[in-house]
């Protein structure tokens, strides 16, 4: 064992005298003064073998008093450099025998002070070579000191050897993923009745292959790349358990075997969603969508799409990430700063801007947060600041209680300042800005403390893509890919990587769209470039058709219901339910806790899963069949002599609330002038706010959307559009007749917070309606006398039996 002993120049009186006269660096003294004593004192550190040192000390004792005095005052770990005081010279002893300090170090830039051919003194064979004086008292202290330190080091070595190899430093999400794979490995081993840990340690390649085949069978794995990732995660489980890597032969063998599973190896085409396609999605959200959706969610989805496109950020920076479910990490109110600043065009006017600080970014520990500034936009559909103001007012989150949106726009920047911040209340600073909305039996309710989940954001986005008529299923990364391309054409590579959170060539490797939008004919042949035409052909919306199916028709639904596998599962479920009834349990939930009830629940989940899978596959086939045949149908129609359709005429759009009709009428029209810009912007924000908070009242607005808006495909609209293009709201007759045209829930029909479509949703199956109504009667308010919930009926009902009889006799609904 080697330790490093530094020679302190202050441990020798002669050295102190030299340093007092020449206060320079020790190496400078060494070069300028060829005194052997100084060169030995100021020599660099010596590597000393502790064990040989102790042995040498025992061989050569020093009995001189001077030696004992010198060694007792010497410190193996000298204090930091301090200039000696004048009083210290009184102890100088130049005649001491302890002034010989030599070691094996030689400086190549310094000439030797002695002749290397001369034979060294006998004394230097022991003390001088190790740089210490021989002293019996010091020998025992040194030996005990070194022995105790050696024991401590040996104990440390033993502990580190026992701990084994260090685990790799992985991110929490990486650990979470391979631990999930480890849980599946445990399930697999329990199936074959072997110990999971022992089986993993044995590292049998045949068992690993059987596991991957089992994964393919039960977990709907279609891509070979996915299976390779799962195999890599399992090898990480092995490394965590055994503290060493899996044998390379096993790794290679299983990796080479994976292609035999016949999985899909095709590469997905990388599409990019540019502004024209985003416009179509926003139009579908506010105009074309007929599905009931809470108004506040519509405003949130609109703003999420705009932020995702403008900042090229990942969805996890705005909403709760799917990989971090339950963390509630999302964009908060404290991350958004709304302020009033002076207009650059006219210093007398003020304008509103918003700073957005994105903190929940990927590689948060390494990368810094990103901050963006947004201004008021001329087109209301793309105005991010207007959405911020609408949500802030709707949530009553502003610190100053503004009576209206007008009061915010009336704010002026004082002459002695450059800005005026519009702050949030302290209690909302840490609340998610995009909060979730939960449907309850009493209506929709905002969960202000719960972040909007990524899964809901993605599902709504995919559904809007179908409503807009896109051929392929949309992905949120298509927005990021298109925004990254636009950013790449404007910013430097360093700025682009900073904005998108990338390192090196990540963008070039993963984000460049498959379709290269350049006119290569012009590049090679030198003909006039038509890049705009090429870019229009590369758009995702090129194949969009608003006539494409958005749901299955009755015949297709019947085909799904009559699927043999689904019918067999339903029969199995009914058999299990009858067995529960035969054992005296009624209703089925009364058997909760029994093995038969667990079996019933498992079969019920299989029925639901199978139905959803069949429904999804049949719908994808319907969309694919439409887009595959629409071109052939159109060509055949034109060849037969029929003229092409100039404008697509769609059915009149009916909105569940009037506020949405107002937004649909003005959202996609640019402002004509400054006065119209101010008024319509305030009206748009107020409509956003009303849509978020105003429930459906017992009527419905049937709104005729202008023909130009229905058939329009581009963002560019004429600024001089006629006022007659405004949406005409037509009040309908009372939409809730006493005798209903189809079976509905007579409790949901009276809930003002539901949309009209949800209140009048038909329930053709009697058993479904019966179960639905029975869930309502589990609430305490229906355990006593209550009033009929129909908007036009006020009959007093006593219990569920009375309710069902009243529903059949008065409203024509049979349970």
Q: What is the pLDDT of residues 63-73, one digit of tens each?
A: 444 444 444 44
125 pLDDT exceeds 80?
A: no
Q: How much is the pLDDT for 442?
A: 63
**CA 512, 513, 519: angle at the middle one, nearest 5?**
100
Helix (H, G, I), strand (E, B) or coil at 344: coil
Length in residues, the chain: 815
| Closest to 222 in 3D by CA, of 180, 279, 193, 264 | 264
Helix locations, 539-673, DSSP H: 554-561, 564-582, 595-639, 658-666
Please tell me whether residues 6 and 146 are part of one structural domain: yes
pTM above 0.85, yes or no: no
42 pLDDT exceeds 80?
A: no
Q: How far apart are CA 715 and CA 517, in angstroms?
A: 20
Burial of 117 (0-12, 13-18, 19+ CB in 10 A): exposed
Mean pLDDT of the chain: 76
Q: Please answer whether residues 659 and 683 qualify as being in contact, where contact means their C-beta atoms are separated by less than 8 angstroms.
A: no
504-513: burial string, b at 16+ Cβ within 10 Å, e else: eeebeeebeb
Q: How much is the pLDDT for 775?
A: 86
Percent of all residues in the chain with a pLDDT value above 70, rounded to a whole number: 71
Please tell me whether residues 18 and 76 are part of one structural domain: yes
Element (H, E) at 689: helix 674-693
Please tell me whether residues 13 and 144 are part of one structural domain: yes
Residue 199, in any domain of the structure: yes
Please tell me whether residues 84 and 198 are part of one structural domain: no
Q: Please answer whether residues 3 and 52 qualify as being in contact, where contact means their C-beta atoms are separated by less than 8 angstroms.
A: no
33 pLDDT exceeds 50?
A: no
Question: What single string gives the DSSP state of each residue in 347-399?
Answer: TTSEEEEEEEEE-S-TTTTTSPPEEEEE---SSGGG-HHHHHHHHHHHTT-BS
Helix locations, 403-471, DSSP H: 405-409, 454-468
**CA 201, 202, 203: angle at the middle one, nearest 5?**
90
Residue 50, in any domain of the structure: yes
Q: DSSP state, 645?
A: P
Specify whether the backbone of 812 is left (phi greater than 0), alpha (psi in -120 to 50) or beta. left
Selected residue with higher pLDDT from 803 and 653: 803
Residue 731, in any domain of the structure: no
Average pLDDT over residues 785-806: 84
| Closest to 814 in 3D by CA, of 747, 776, 765 | 765
Q: Please answer whether residues 276 and 230 qualify as being in contact, where contact means their C-beta atoms are separated by less than 8 angstroms.
A: no
Q: DSSP state, 178?
A: H
Please tell me whether residues 257 and 135 are part of one structural domain: no
Q: How much is the pLDDT for 201?
A: 92
Q: Which of 206, 236, 261 is the last residue of a domain?
A: 261
Q: How much is the pLDDT for 645?
A: 61
Percent of all residues in the chain with a pLDDT value above 90, rounded to a whole number: 25
Handedness of CA 342, 346, 352, 355 (dihedral sign): negative
Domain that holds residue 110: 2-160
Which region among 113-122, 189-198, 265-274 has the lowest average model confidence (pLDDT)?
Answer: 113-122
Residue 762 dihedral angles phi and psi, to the nearest 5°: -75, 145
Selected residue with higher pLDDT from 339 and 756: 339
Q: Which residues pair with 3 in a beta bridge?
A: 48
Q: How far apart are CA 408 and CA 138, in angstroms?
A: 83
Please tell me whether residues 82 and 202 are part of one structural domain: no
Selected residue with higher pLDDT from 81 and 761: 761
Selected residue with higher pLDDT from 226 and 114: 226
Which region among 262-266, 320-324, 726-730 has the lowest average model confidence (pLDDT)?
Answer: 726-730
Please tell me whether residues 47 and 114 are part of one structural domain: yes
Which region among 18-22, 255-259, 656-660 has the lowest average model confidence (pLDDT)?
Answer: 18-22
Q: How much is the pLDDT for 146?
A: 64
Q: How much is the pLDDT for 202?
A: 92
Domain tally, the chain:
4
**pLDDT tens-digit readout, 472-517:** 889 988 888 887 777 777 777 777 777 776 666 776 667 777 888 8
Please tell me whether residues 99 and 153 are part of one structural domain: yes
Which region among 375-384, 463-472, 485-494, 802-811 has the lowest average model confidence (pLDDT)?
Answer: 485-494
Please tell me whether residues 153 and 176 are part of one structural domain: no
Residue 648, in any domain of the structure: no
**CA 729, 733, 735: angle at the middle one, nearest 5?**
105
Nearby residues of 308 by Cβ (< 8 Å), 6 or more positions away: 315, 318, 476, 479, 480, 483
Residue 560, in any domain of the structure: yes
Residue 488, in any domain of the structure: no
Q: How far apart are CA 502 and CA 484, in angstroms?
A: 11
**pLDDT band for position 151 (cuts 50, 70, 90):** confident
Please tell me whether residues 87 and 198 are part of one structural domain: no
Q: How much is the pLDDT for 614?
A: 93
Strand ranges of the sheet holding 419-422, from the earlier edge strand across to the other edge: 370-374, 350-358, 336-342, 419-422
734 pLDDT exceeds 70?
A: no
Q: Which of 595, 626, 657 is the last residue of a domain?
A: 626
Please tell me whether residues 142 and 33 are part of one structural domain: yes
184 pLDDT exceeds 60?
A: yes
Element (H, E) at 444: strand 443-451
Selected residue with higher pLDDT from 114 and 393: 393
Of 9-13, 86-90, 522-526, where does the model show the most confidence? 522-526
Q: How far apart are CA 725 and CA 192, in angstroms?
A: 69
Please state, in angstroms and as integers, the Cα–Cα distance from residue 91 to each residue in 59, 234, 403, following that order.
Answer: 30, 72, 87
Residue 724, in any domain of the structure: no
Residue 786, in any domain of the structure: yes
Please tell me whether residues 19 and 109 are part of one structural domain: yes
Q: Which long-range contacts (CB under 8 A, 24 or more apart) does 272-275 make?
A: 272/478, 272/481, 272/482, 272/485, 272/513, 272/515, 272/538, 272/540, 273/309, 273/474, 273/478, 273/479, 273/481, 273/482, 273/540, 274/482, 274/486, 274/535, 274/539, 274/540, 275/309, 275/715
Q: How much is the pLDDT for 521?
A: 87
428 pLDDT exceeds 70?
A: yes
32 pLDDT exceeds 50?
A: no
Q: How much is the pLDDT for 646?
A: 57
Q: How far apart are CA 341 and CA 353, in angstroms?
A: 7
Nearby residues of 292 by Cβ (< 8 Å), 6 or more positions away: 656, 754, 755, 757, 758
**pLDDT tens-digit readout, 561-612:** 999 999 999 999 999 999 999 988 888 888 888 999 999 999 999 998 899 9
465 pLDDT exceeds 90?
A: yes
Average pLDDT over residues 197-201: 92
Q: How much is the pLDDT for 649?
A: 62
445 pLDDT exceeds 60?
A: yes
**pLDDT tens-digit readout, 159-183:** 888 887 887 888 787 888 899 999 9
Which region among 292-306, 348-362, 708-722 has the lowest average model confidence (pLDDT)?
Answer: 708-722
719 pLDDT exceeds 60?
A: no
Which region among 291-300, 469-478, 738-747, 757-766 has the lowest average model confidence (pLDDT)?
Answer: 757-766
Q: How far apart are CA 551 and CA 764, in angstroms?
A: 18
Helix (H, G, I), strand (E, B) or coil at 246: coil
Q: How far apart are CA 813 and CA 815, in angstroms?
A: 7
Q: Which of 261, 282, 297 is the last residue of a domain?
A: 261
454-482: burial string, b at 16+ Cβ within 10 Å, e else: bebbbebbebbbbbbbbbeebbbbbbbbb
Q: Please answer whether residues 300 and 387 qualify as being in contact, where contact means their C-beta atoms are separated by less than 8 angstroms.
A: no
């Amino acid at each position: 064992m080697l330790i490093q002993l530094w020679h302190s120049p202050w441990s020798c009186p002669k050295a102190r005298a030299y340093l007092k006269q020449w206060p320079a660096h020790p190496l400078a003294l060494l070069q300028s003064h060829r005194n052997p004593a100084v060169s030995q004192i100021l020599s660099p550190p010596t590597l000393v073998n502790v064990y040989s040192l102790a042995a040498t000390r025992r061989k050569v004792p020093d009995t001189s008093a001077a030696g004992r005095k010198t060694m007792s005052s010497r410190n193996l770990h000298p204090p930091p450099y301090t200039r000696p005081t004048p009083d210290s010279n009184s102890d100088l002893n130049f005649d001491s025998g302890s002034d010989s300090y030599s070691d094996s170090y030689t400086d190549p830039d310094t000439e030797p002070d002695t002749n290397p051919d001369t034979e060294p003194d006998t004394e230097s064979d022991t003390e001088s070579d190790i740089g210490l004086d021989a002293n019996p008292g010091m020998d025992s202290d040194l030996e005990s000191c070194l022995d105790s330190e050696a024991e401590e080091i040996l104990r440390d070595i033993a502990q580190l050897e026992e701990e084994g190899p260090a685990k790799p430093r992985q991110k929490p999400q990486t650990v979470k993923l391979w631990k999930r794979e480890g849980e599946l490995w445990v399930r697999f081993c329990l199936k074959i009745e072997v110990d999971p840990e022992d089986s993993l340690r044995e590292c049998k390649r045949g068992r690993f292959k059987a596991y991957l085949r089992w994964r393919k069978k039960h977990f709907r794995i279609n891509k070979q790349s996915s299976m390779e990732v799962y195999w890599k995660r399992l090898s990480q489980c092995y490394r965590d358990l055994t503290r060493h890597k899996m044998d390379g032969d096993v790794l290679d063998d299983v990796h080479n075997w994976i292609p035999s599973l016949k999985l899909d190896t095709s590469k997905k085409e990388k599409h990019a969603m540019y502004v024209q396609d985003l416009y179509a999605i926003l139009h579908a959200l506010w105009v074309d969508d007929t599905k009931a959706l809470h108004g506040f969610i519509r405003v949130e989805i609109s703003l999420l799409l705009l932020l995702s496109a403008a900042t090229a950020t990942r969805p996890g920076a705005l909403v709760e990430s799917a990989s971090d479910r339950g963390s509630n990490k999302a964009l908060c109110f404290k991350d958004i700063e709304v302020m009033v600043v002076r207009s650059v065009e006219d210093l007398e006017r003020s304008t509103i801007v918003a700073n957005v600080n994105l903190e929940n970014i990927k590689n948060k520990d390494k990368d810094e947060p990103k901050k963006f500034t947004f201004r008021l936009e001329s087109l209301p559909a793309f105005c991010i600041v207007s959405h911020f103001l609408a949500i802030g007012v709707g949530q009553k989150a502003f610190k100053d209680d503004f009576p209206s949106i007008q009061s915010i726009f009336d704010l002026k920047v004082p002459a002695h300042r450059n800005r005026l911040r519009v702050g949030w209340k302290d209690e909302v600073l840490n609340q998610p800005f995009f909060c979730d909305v939960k449907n309850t039996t009493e209506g929709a309710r905002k969960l202000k403390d719960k972040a909007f989940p990524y899964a809901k954001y993605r599902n709504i986005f995919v559904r809007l893509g179908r409503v807009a008529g896109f051929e392929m299923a949309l992905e949120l990364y298509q927005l990021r890919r298109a925004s990254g391309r636009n950013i790449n054409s404007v910013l430097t590579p360093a700025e682009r990587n900073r904005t998108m959170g990338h390192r090196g060539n990540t963008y070039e490797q993963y984000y460049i769209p498959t379709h290269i939008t350049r006119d290569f004919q012009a590049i090679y042949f030198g003909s006039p470039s038509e890049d705009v035409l090429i870019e229009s052909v590369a758009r995702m919306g090129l194949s969009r058709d608003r006539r494409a199916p958005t749901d299955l028709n009755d015949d297709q639904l019947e085909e799904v219901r009559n699927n043999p596998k689904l019918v067999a599962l339903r029969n199995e479920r009914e058999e299990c339910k009858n067995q529960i009834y035969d054992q005296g349990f009624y209703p089925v939930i009364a058997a909760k806790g029994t093995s038969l009830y667990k079996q019933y629940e498992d079969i019920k989940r299989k029925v639901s899963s199978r139905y959803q899978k069949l429904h999804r596959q049949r719908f994808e086939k319907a969309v694919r069949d439409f887009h595959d045949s629409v071109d052939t149908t159109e060509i055949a129609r034109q060849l037969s002599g029929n003229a092409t359709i100039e404008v697509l005429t769609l059915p009149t759009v009916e909105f569940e609330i009037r506020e949405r009709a107002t937004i649909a009428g003005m959202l996609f029209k640019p402002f004509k002038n400054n006065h119209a810009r101010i008024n319509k912007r305030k009206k748009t924000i107020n409509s956003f706010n009303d849509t978020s908070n105003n429930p459906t009242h017992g009527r419905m607005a049937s709104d005729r959307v202008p023909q130009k808006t229905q058939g329009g495909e581009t963002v560019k609209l004429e600024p001089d559009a006629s006022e007659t293009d405004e949406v005409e709201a037509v009040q309908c007759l009372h939409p809730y007749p006493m005798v209903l045209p189809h079976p509905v829930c007579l409790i949901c029909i009276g809930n003002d917070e539901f949309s009209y479509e949800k209140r009048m949703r038909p329930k053709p199956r009697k058993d479904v309606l019966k179960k639905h109504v029975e869930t309502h009667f589990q609430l305490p308010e229906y355990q006593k006398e209550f009033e009929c919930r129909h908007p036009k009926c006020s009959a007093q009902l006593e219990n569920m039996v009375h309710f069902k009889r009243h529903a059949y006799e008065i409203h024509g609904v049979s349970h």
